[in-house]
Amino acid sequence: MTELSRFDPTNRFSGLAANYDRYRPSYPAEVLDYIRGRCGLADGSVLVDVGCGTGISSRLFAGQGFRVIGIEPNADMRAAALAAPLAGDIPRPSYREGQAEATGLSAQSADAVLAAQAFHWFDSAAALREFHRILKAGGWAILLWNERDETDPFTAAYGDVIRTAPDAAAVEMPRSRAGEPLLRSPWFQDAERALFRNEQTLAEEGVLGRAFSASYAPREPDRAAEFTAALRSVFARFQQQGQVALRYETAVYLGRRAE
């Protein structure tokens, strides 16, 4: 079992869908180009987005011309994904209930399996075994995280506030190394890790929304008010013309299905 299983990963995001969908960062174009090229994906490739949440990554990869199937166990998050509008003629992802360790999909049905900002919640061994089962020969597992780049002063100050939240450190520390099981899994080969720069430009409302989209953000009114005041103070110190840049390092882990 994952060391984060005690935090009830399926249900802890209930009630957070609106903030999550609006304020979570996306991924840089360079990441999409890298994944498409390295994994040999093309228009019509089938990509399974496991732990897809509100569909942020599902819509992004659908915009690449892939046929995306989102797997999400939390009903609130899945409903938000189903309701989200799509720009232009982007093919709509399909969404279904399921777990990373038991997706319910057919064997060898996917060209790629993605877990974006989610794999740390899974039982890594069981999930990778399931990814191997549903991938076609030569298919790829893809793990993505946006992690704060606290070499940036504002991002560091924001992180100091975030770590005052209950369970923040307990969730973030295991997450920082959560992609490593793919690098050494016997189910996968040619595994690698790559890093890319990413950032969000946010007004004060966005800083608050981003912070409260975290599953560990305080929900009890007094603690939430203290958390809000601390975030407002940090924003006021660093803002330029009413905005700040929250900087990230996007980590990408890839592994090709072993035969």
- Condensed to tens digits (0 to 9), the pLDDT of residues 34-91 reads 999 999 999 999 999 999 999 999 999 999 999 999 999 999 999 999 999 888 888 8
Percent of the chain with pLDDT over 90: 82
Q: Residue 7: its pLDDT value, please?
A: 56
Three-state DSSP class for residue 44:
coil
Q: Residue 9: its pLDDT value, please?
A: 63
Read off the pLDDT band of 10 (50, 70, 90): low
C-alpha dihedral over 137, 122, 44, 197, to 10 degrees? -110
Residue 241 CB-density burial (10 A; 0-12 exposed, 13-18 middle, 19+ buried): exposed
What would the mean pLDDT of 137-146 be, rounded to a whole number? 97
Domain ranges of the chain: 5-147+168-199+249-257
The pLDDT tens digits for 102-130 are 999 999 999 999 999 999 999 999 999 99
Closest by CA position to 124, among listed 17, 215, 255: 255
On average, the pLDDT of the chain sits at: 92
pLDDT over 50 (residue 170): yes
What would the mean pLDDT of 134-161 be, rounded to a whole number? 97
Read off the pLDDT band of 149 (50, 70, 90): very high
Q: What is the CATH number of domain 5-147+168-199+249-257?
A: 3.40.50.150
Q: Which of 28-42, 157-171, 225-239 has the lowest mean pLDDT?
A: 157-171
Cα dihedral sign, 226-231-234-239: negative
Place of tokens 């987005």: 49
What pTM value is reported for the model? Answer: 0.92
SS (H, E, C) 136-159: EEEEEEEEEEEEECCCCHHHHHHH
Tell me how far apart the alpha carbons of residues 194 and 90 are, in angstroms, rounded to a whole number: 27
Strand duo 94-96 + 46-50: pairing: unpaired
